């Protein structure tokens, strides 16, 4: 019996554990693409040779105004690497710092503090341009662009409506119900009002909504229709990057917010998709550390990915620190009050509420497999959120897992669980 040691990211640190190597079916990692070394050169190359539209130096005129949409702190974007390049390029094109601003695409997440904004874009950029939170709860901050064909009211933050150019930035990974991140998501849900997000996200209950799906996905299609309404007569330019698990840039994509995003998603499939020959009895997954495991709200994405690798009735041991707890009082309250995945789904079908939708996303996986957390999450909270167990170490979790999968389970390891998407090889 060969014992092998493993070292997985956990919160702001690491967790170590050992396994009998003969039990491990596969260790799923992102495809090993060489990271970019010249970040500034990569940004300039992307924006000067964009996909599906003219380059910025043909679009932007001296004295015009620009709003950059940047990710909030729950999504790794490395905005501090590319934003200085953008600002300098805008200066070169005749746009002074006072004509630019950054709007953080919070969606329904909490407002960022000033220090968090500075951390996101870097001290130099923060000192040069105005920074604004898109707070979905401040009704007067949103302008109305009609309804989508599915009835979603298109309410978009006024701070991206009053400029000559809107530049959508961020990174792209799979998204568990809208297909992929990036692209249109900077605007909707990123800079949309609560009712817009609530109605759009209600389509996640549709069986056609799912990870890596765009065609026929009602969430994605509704977002695209809503953003198209906002974009009519406006100048939108996309800059999206794909990162590896170490948060290094692999490739950058810029240009038309639809066409450039489609090309980028094809690359995402190559980097993050992973074929497996069989599902495991036991999956051991790490979210990839902070901020991907900052709370249960963010951790849920790893639950979805790990679910694809585990058999019915199997166990997922999930390394997720959750230093900020659940991330949503509505998520907590919904789980506590309703107490089962079926009850949560039934209530959402009747009355879709943001936060409660995350309770559905978290607990629906529990109908398929047991989830044991290695976490600092409050133990009572973990129980109320229907997790099978919550412990301090991987060893404790593995001992608990034996109750369900025995002493010799077939194991799949997912050290980059928030990124990698297992796909079962079709027979």
pLDDT in tens, 349-374: 999 998 899 999 999 999 999 999 99
Q: What is the average pLDDT across 328-336?
A: 94
Q: How far apart are CA 387 and CA 379, in angstroms?
A: 10
Identify whether the C-beta of residue 52 lies closer than 8 Å to the C-beta of residue 255.
yes
- By CB atoms closer than 10 A (0-12, 13-18, 19+), residue 408 is exposed
Mean pLDDT, rounded, of the chain: 96
Identify whether the C-beta of residue 194 lies closer than 8 Å to the C-beta of residue 108.
yes
Q: How far apart are CA 157 and CA 210, in angstroms?
A: 27
Q: What is the average pLDDT across 13-19?
A: 97
Which DSSP state fits 215? T
- Quote the pLDDT of residue 402: 97
| All domains of the chain in start order, with CATH | 3-30+272-424 (3.90.226.30), 39-243 (3.40.50.11440)
Q: What is the average pLDDT across 77-99?
A: 97
Percent of the chain with pLDDT over 90: 93
- Quote the pLDDT of residue 55: 97
Q: Residue 426 — pLDDT band, cuts 50, 70, 90?
A: low
Residue 257 has pLDDT above 50, yes or no: yes
- Quote the pLDDT of residue 1: 74
Q: What is the average pLDDT across 378-389?
A: 97
Name the CA dihedral angle for 294, 298, 304, 309, rounded to a multiple of 10 degrees. Answer: -20
Q: Residue 427 — pLDDT band, cuts 50, 70, 90?
A: very low
pLDDT in tens, 303-322: 999 999 999 999 999 999 99
- Quote the pLDDT of residue 425: 80
- Quote the pLDDT of residue 172: 95
- Quote the pLDDT of residue 385: 96
Q: How far apart are CA 266 and CA 278, in angstroms?
A: 24
Please give the full DSSP string across 145-211, using - where no structure is assigned. EEE-TT--EEEEEGGGTSSSEEEEEEE--EETTTEESSGGGGTTTTTB-HHHHHHHHGGGGSTT--T
Q: Residue 76 — pLDDT band, cuts 50, 70, 90?
A: confident
Helix/strand/coil for 216: coil
| Cα 299 versus chain centre, distance | 10
pLDDT in tens, 127-176: 999 999 999 999 999 999 999 999 999 999 999 999 999 999 999 999 98
């Amino acid at each position: 019996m060969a014992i092998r040691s493993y070292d997985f990211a956990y919160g702001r640190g690491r967790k170590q554990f050992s396994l009998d190597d003969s039990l491990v079916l596969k260790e799923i990692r992102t495809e090993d693409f060489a990271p970019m070394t010249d970040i500034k050169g990569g940004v300039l190359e992307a924006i000067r040779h964009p996909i599906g539209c003219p380059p910025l130096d043909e679009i932007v005129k001296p004295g015009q105004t620009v709003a950059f949409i940047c990710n909030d702190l729950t999504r790794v974007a490395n905005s501090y690497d590319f934003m200085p390049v953008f600002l300098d390029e805008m200066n070169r094109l005749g746009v002074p710092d006072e004509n630019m601003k950054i709007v953080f695409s919070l969606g329904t997440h909490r407002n960022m503090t000033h220090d968090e904004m500075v951390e996101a874009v870097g001290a130099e950029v923060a000192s040069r341009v105005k920074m604004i939170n898109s707070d979905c709860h401040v009704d007067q901050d949103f302008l109305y662009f009609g309804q989508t064909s599915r009835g979603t009211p298109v309410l978009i933050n006024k701070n991206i409506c009053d400029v000559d150019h809107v530049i959508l930035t961020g990174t792209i990974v799979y998204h568990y119900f809208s297909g992929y991140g990036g692209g249109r998501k900077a605007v909707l849900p990123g800079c949309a009002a609560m009712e817009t997000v609530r109605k759009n996200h209600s389509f996640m209950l549709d069986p056609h909504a799912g990870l890596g799906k765009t065609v026929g996905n009602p969430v994605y299609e509704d977002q695209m229709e809503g953003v198209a309404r906002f974009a009519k007569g406006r100048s939108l330019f996309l800059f999206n990057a794909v990162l590896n698990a170490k948060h290094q840039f692999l490739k950058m994509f810029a240009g038309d917010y639809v066409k450039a995003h489609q090309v980028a998603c094809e690359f995402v499939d190559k980097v993050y998709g992973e074929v497996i020959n069989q599902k495991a009895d036991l999956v051991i997954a790490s979210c990839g550390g902070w901020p991907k495991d900052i709370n249960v709200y963010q951790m849920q994405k790893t639950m979805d990915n790990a679910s694809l690798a585990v058999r019915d009735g199997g166990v997922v041991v999930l390394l997720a620190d959750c230093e900020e707890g659940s991330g949503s009082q509505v998520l907590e309250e919904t789980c506590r009050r309703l107490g089962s995945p079926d009850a949560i789904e039934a209530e959402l079908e009747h009355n879709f509420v943001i936060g409660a939708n995350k309770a559905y996303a978290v607990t629906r996986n529990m109908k398929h497999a047991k989830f044991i957390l290695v976490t600092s999450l409050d133990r009572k909270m973990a129980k109320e959120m229907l997790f099978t167990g919550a412990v301090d170490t991987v060893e404790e979790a593995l001992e608990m897992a034996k109750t369900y999968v025995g002493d010799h389970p077939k194991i799949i390891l997912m050290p980059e669980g928030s990124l990698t998407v297992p796909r079962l090889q079709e027979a």
